[in-house]
Amino acid sequence: MTIERNLDDYCRKAIAGGATSVLVTQPNRIATAPWVLLKCQFGCGGYGKYYCCPPYSPTPEQTRQVLDSYNRALLFRLEWTKGQQSGREISNYFKNVVSMEIEMFLDGFYRAFSMLCGPCILCRHTECGVHSNEPCRHPEKARPSMEGCGIDVFQTAHNHGLPLKTVRTEEETRNLYCVILVD
């Protein structure tokens, strides 16, 4: 089985696991920008409350260096509408991405690493070890968000011809993105 076929198999598994779409891409098409962390710091309730969020996550510069050390990545999209899907479905989707990363590692893609969407959902912010100066309680499952690492998710989606827009109401459909860096 070739590596390309293996990635096709993972793409099919991702769709079966709840992703709306998944594509193989080159990490140089994933955009990073320093301003993204300002949106985390001054617009997201997760800033400083989780080990997976800034200021604990990699900087945009570190993320760019990491991205540039890879040749391929899988970019996942989940279309989500409040009321049609539960928060549990999003949680399961994120768990599926991390499980796929682990599966890829065990299948020989030893560099596989995933980044999710939004603040960590494994602990409530009052339970995260960051507040009690303890290590992460779920290091085998916890992954930083793309935006928390300085990835411009809007530009990245547009670079791939994928939909992403600012939503104005809770009822509007959202597109949530995750990535697995492969090799």
Residue 32 counted as domain residue: yes
How many CB atoms lie under 10 A from the CB of residue 175?
A: 18
Q: Is the pTM of this model over 0.85?
A: yes
φ/ψ of 176, rounded to 5, equals: -105, 135
* pLDDT at residue 140 is higher than 80: yes
Strands 174-181 and 113-115: antiparallel
* pLDDT at residue 135 is higher than 90: yes
How many CB atoms lie under 10 A from the CB of residue 132?
A: 8
Domain span at 153: 3-7+21-181
Taking residues 79-86, report their average pLDDT: 77
Residue 14 counted as domain residue: no
Residue 49 counted as domain residue: yes
* pLDDT at residue 127 is higher than 90: no
DSSP string across 11-66? HHHHHHTT-SEEEEE-GGGS-B-THHHHHHHTT-TTTTTSTTSTTTSPPHHHHHHH
Q: What is the pLDDT of residues 18-48, one digit of tens each?
A: 899 999 999 999 999 999 999 999 989 889 9
Residue 171 counted as domain residue: yes
Residue 25 counted as domain residue: yes
Residue 86 counted as domain residue: yes
Q: Please state the domain count of the chain.
A: 1
Residue 117 counted as domain residue: yes
Residue 167 counted as domain residue: yes
